[in-house]
Amino acid sequence: MQFARIAGLGKSLPDKVLDNLELEKMVDTSDEWITTRTGISQRRILGKDKGSSELGAKAAINALKNADVAPDKVDLIIVTTVTPDTIFPSTACYIQKKIKAKNAACFDLSAACAGFVYGLACAEKFIISGMYKTILVVSTEVMSSIVDWTDRSTCVLFGDGAGAAVLTASKKESFLATYLGSNGSYTDMLYVPAGGSKYSVTKEVLDNHDNCIRMRGNELFRLAVRAMADAAQNALELAKVPIDDIKLLIPHQANNRIITAIASRLKLPKEKVYVNIEKYGNMSAASSAIAFCEAWEDGLIKKGDIIVTAVFGAGLVWGSNVIRWV
Ligand code: ACO
pLDDT at position 1? 81
pLDDT (mean) for 255-280:
97
| Span 13-37, pLDDT tens digits | 999 999 999 999 999 999 999 999 9
Catalytic residue (one of 20, 62, 66, 113): 113
The Å distance, Cα 81 to ligand 1 centre, comes to: 24
What count of Cα atoms within 13 Å lies in the side-chain half-sphere of residue 283?
A: 34
Domains and CATH numbers, the chain: 3-171 (3.40.47.10), 176-324 (3.40.47.10)
Q: What is the model's pLDDT at position 49? A: 86
- State how far the Cα of 243 lies from the Cα of 288, in Å rounded to an integer: 20
Residue 252, classified by CB atoms within 10 Å of its CB into exposed (0-12), middle (13-18) or buried (19+), is: buried
CA distance 79 to 137: 6
| 271 CA from centroid of ligand 1 (Å) | 27
- CB 145 within 8 Å of CB 83: yes
CB neighbour list of residue 62: distance below 8 Å, 6 or more residues apart: 10, 11, 12, 164
Which member of 66, 106, 252, 293 is catalytic? 252
Q: Which of 175, 165, 168, 60 is nearest to 121 (CA)?
A: 175
| Structural contact between residues 237 and 274, judged by C-beta atoms closer than 8 angstroms | no
Residue 296 has pLDDT above 90, yes or no: yes
What's the confidence (pLDDT) of residue 31? 98
SS3 per residue for 158-223: ECEEEEEEEEEEECCCCEEEEEEEECHHHCCCEECCCCCCCCCCCHHHHHHCCCCCEECHHHHHHH
Nearest Cα residue to atom 13 of ligand 1 = 153
Cβ atoms of 147 and 212 closer than 8 Å = yes
Catalytic residue check, 106: no
What's the mean pLDDT in 168-186?
97
69: three-class secondary structure by DSSP = coil
pLDDT digits (tens, 9 = 90+) for 31-81: 999 999 999 999 999 998 899 999 999 999 999 999 999 999 999 999 999
Q: From CA 71, how far away is CA 103, in angstroms rounded?
A: 8
Look at residue 277 and tell me whether its pLDDT is greater than 90. Answer: yes
Residue 305: pLDDT over 90 = yes
pLDDT tens digits, one per residue of 111-148:
999 999 999 999 999 999 999 999 999 999 999 999 99
Q: What is the crossing angle of helices 52-67 and 91-99, to 10°?
A: 50
